[in-house]
């Protein structure tokens, strides 16, 4: 089984992980040698040394290729009991026409500690927010994540002086966000989870989820009006495009709560793994949102979201123009927008002298890739390869993507040899076939 090395925060280490590179103390003495399997006591020793922030961990290629390099647990993930209750809440919703007052009250009670946690700290919980895997009914997971993103955006807006929320604002935003897609419980699963493009009829049905959702919440007495507005209007944009629940009065101005959840909903859709697309990096998701700033989306809240997320998760993979492959090696505490990047591969011999070089993403030395030449990014080599394949199928210029019309080789650092050659084998499949000797 092939392995790769990734950087992991000390606070994210787990027993059983294997050290990928010997760790030294501040005096140059070895603390833990390469190949050691971590125990709880090892992790405690590392946590006690505040000058050690990251550790290199060895993981199987198969894990990386499936995109399951994930961040620490904390409140990024649904606590088991809340996860179970939220799943049951959405399952029950498939069989009722209106949300019960008691169920809404219990949901609000479950969410309240989370609101307090987010608003008592920096909105950093979204750094490397966990990808959600596709499954039969991911609506409640998506709803939880959109709530986290929405609350963290509101917290960032408060810190930046963009918006000063009241307690009612926080609670109504949380409830609106977690219930924004409740109407999808009325959409057939075969349509909801269809891997390909929806037909016009299916798309029309899918749009009905806002109407179904509003019908379910409109008469719930203990759900605040702003929460109901989120359910009804989270697909309505600033320029009037999009759609709202049928039978709901048009808004003169879209409330801030709706603006925030609209951004959070689209952001999560872009950065999440789905059967029909590979997860995008937060960096690219933010770029897409900024393209619609002050036309479709409120720029103030994109700025706030940008403050709350890490554009480049640790260990993610990048493809620059001319076929230069790189990996994010380090994210400085005070410059999360400016990670340290290492060149790990190239499709042309011309750039082999760059292999192994590290540089600051926003301020590279002369001769190294610049930010404006970044083309694609993904959480895993396989994801990056899939995005490259997709770009080529859309007619992107091969020379821009790969540095050559027909790459004859992939030059990589030794530690990435297997993982990158396997991921990008589709580029060389026809060549290898041609080189196979004919059977006599």
pLDDT digits (tens, 9 = 90+) for 52-92: 888 888 876 545 444 433 333 344 445 667 777 888 888 88
Residue, of 101 and 60, whose pLDDT is higher = 101
Domains of the chain are: 3-65 (3.90.105.10), 74-308 (1.10.3210.10), 317-435 (no CATH)
Q: Give the pLDDT mean for 373-380.
A: 91
Residue, of 126 and 385, whose pLDDT is higher = 385
What percentage of the chain exceeds 70 in pLDDT? 87
pLDDT of residue 336: 87
Q: Is the pLDDT of residue 36 over 70?
A: yes
CA distances to 132, 145, 151, 286 from 121, rounded to whole Å, are 24, 18, 12, 23
End-to-end CA distance of the chain: 34
Average pLDDT, rounded, for the chain = 85
Provide the phi-psi class of 188: left if phi over 0, else alpha when psi is between -120 and 50, else beta. Answer: beta
Other beta carbons less than 10 A from residue 425's beta carbon: 12
Provide the phi-psi class of 28: left if phi over 0, else alpha when psi is between -120 and 50, else beta. Answer: left
Contacts of 25 (CB under 8 A, 6+ apart): 31, 49
Q: Is the pLDDT of residue 313 over 90?
A: no
Q: Is the pLDDT of residue 356 over 70?
A: yes
pLDDT of residue 241: 95
Q: Give the pLDDT mean for 341-357.
A: 95
Q: Give the pLDDT mean for 326-350.
A: 91
Other beta carbons less than 10 A from residue 301's beta carbon: 25
pLDDT of residue 358: 96
Q: Give the pLDDT mean for 177-187.
A: 95
Q: Which residues is 8 bridged to in the sheet?
A: 55
Q: Where are the alpha helices (DSSP H) in 309-403?
A: 381-393, 398-402
Residue, of 352 and 54, whose pLDDT is higher = 352
Distance CA 223, CA 296 (A): 27
Residue, of 58 and 217, whose pLDDT is higher = 217
Burial 63-87 (b: 16+ CB within 10 A, else e): bbbebebbbeeeebbbeeebeebbb
Q: Give the pLDDT mean for 147-161.
A: 93
| Parallel, antiparallel or unpaired: strands 54-60 and 317-320 | unpaired
Q: Give the pLDDT mean for 415-419.
A: 86
User: Lowest-pLDDT range, 71-75, 293-297, 306-310?
Assistant: 71-75
Distance CA 372, CA 378 (A): 17
Distance CA 347, CA 349 (A): 7
Task: From 176, 209, 175, 160, select the one nearest 107 (Cα to Cα).
Answer: 175
Range picked from 24-38, 40-54, 250-264 for highest mean pLDDT: 250-264
Q: Longest Cα pair distance anywhere in the chain, in angstroms?
A: 81
Q: Is residue 296 very low, low, confident or very high in pLDDT (cuts 50, 70, 90)? A: very high
DSSP string computed for 164-190:
---HHHHHHHHHHHHTTTGGGGGS-HH
User: Lowest-pLDDT range, 138-147, 217-226, 232-241, 424-433?
Assistant: 424-433
pLDDT in tens, 184-211: 999 998 898 887 889 999 999 999 999 9
Q: Is residue 42 very low, low, confident or very high in pLDDT (cuts 50, 70, 90)? A: confident
DSSP code of residue 351: G
Contacts of 116 (CB under 8 A, 6+ apart): none
Task: From 358, 302, 128, 90, select the one nearest 213 (Cα to Cα).
Answer: 90
Q: Which two tokens stand for residue 338?
A: 């400016």
Distance CA 145, CA 270 (A): 13
Range picked from 29-38, 256-265, 272-281 for highest mean pLDDT: 256-265
Query: How far is CA 269 from its chain centroid?
Result: 9
Query: How far is CA 365 from its chain centroid?
Result: 29
Q: Is the pLDDT of residue 282 over 60?
A: yes
pLDDT of residue 393: 86
What percentage of the chain exceeds 90 in pLDDT? 49
């Amino acid at each position: 089984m092939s392995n790769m090395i990734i950087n992991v925060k000390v606070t994210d280490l787990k027993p059983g992980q294997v050290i990928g590179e010997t760790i030294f103390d501040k005096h140059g003495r070895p603390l833990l040698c390469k190949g050691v399997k971590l125990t709880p006591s090892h992790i405690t020793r590392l946590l006690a040394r505040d000058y050690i922030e990251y550790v290199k961990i060895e993981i199987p290629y198969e894990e990386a290729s499936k995109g399951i390099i994930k961040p620490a647990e904390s409140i990024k993930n649904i606590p088991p009991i809340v996860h179970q209750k939220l799943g049951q809440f959405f399952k029950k919703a498939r069989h009722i026409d209106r949300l019960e007052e008691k169920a809404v009250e219990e949901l609000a009670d479950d969410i309240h500690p989370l609101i307090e946690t987010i608003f008592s700290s920096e909105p950093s919980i979204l750094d490397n927010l966990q990808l959600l895997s596709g499954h039969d009914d991911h609506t409640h997971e998506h709803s939880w994540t959109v709530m986290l993103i929405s609350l963290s955006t509101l917290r960032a807006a408060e810190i930046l002086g963009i918006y000063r929320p009241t307690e009612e604002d926080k609670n109504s935003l949380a409830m609106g966000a977690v219930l924004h897609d409740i109407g999808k419980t009325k959409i057939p699963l075969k349509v909801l989870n269809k891997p390909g493009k929806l037909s016009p009829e299916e798309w029309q049905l899918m749009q009905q989820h806002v109407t179904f959702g509003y019908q379910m919440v409109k008469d719930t007495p203990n759900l605040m009006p702003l929460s109901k507005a989120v359910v009804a209007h989270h697909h309505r944009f600033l320029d009037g495009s999009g759609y709202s629940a049928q039978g709901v009065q048009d808004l003169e101005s879209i409330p801030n709560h709706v603006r925030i959840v609209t951004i959070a909903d689209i952001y999560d859709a872009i950065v999440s793994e789905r059967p029909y697309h590979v997860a995008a990096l937060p960096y690219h998701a933010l770029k897409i949102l900024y393209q619609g700033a002050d036309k479709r989306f409120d720029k103030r809240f994109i700025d706030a979201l940008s403050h709350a997320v890490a554009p480049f998760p640790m260990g993610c993979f990048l493809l620059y123009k001319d076929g230069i492959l790189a990996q994010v090696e380090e994210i400085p505490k005070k410059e999360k927008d400016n990670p340290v990047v290492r060149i790990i591969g190239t499709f042309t011999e011309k750039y082999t002298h760059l292999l192994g070089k590290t540089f600051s993403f926003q301020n590279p030395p002369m001769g190294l890739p610049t930010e404006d030449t970044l083309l694609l990014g993904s959480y895993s080599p396989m994801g990056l390869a899939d995005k490259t394949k997709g770009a080529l199928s859309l007619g992107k210029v091969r020379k821009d993507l790969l540095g050559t019309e027909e790459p004859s080789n992939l030059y990589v650092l030794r530690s990435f040899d297997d993982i990158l050659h396997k991921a990008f084998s589709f580029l060389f499949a026809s060549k290898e076939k041609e080189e196979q000797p004919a059977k006599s």
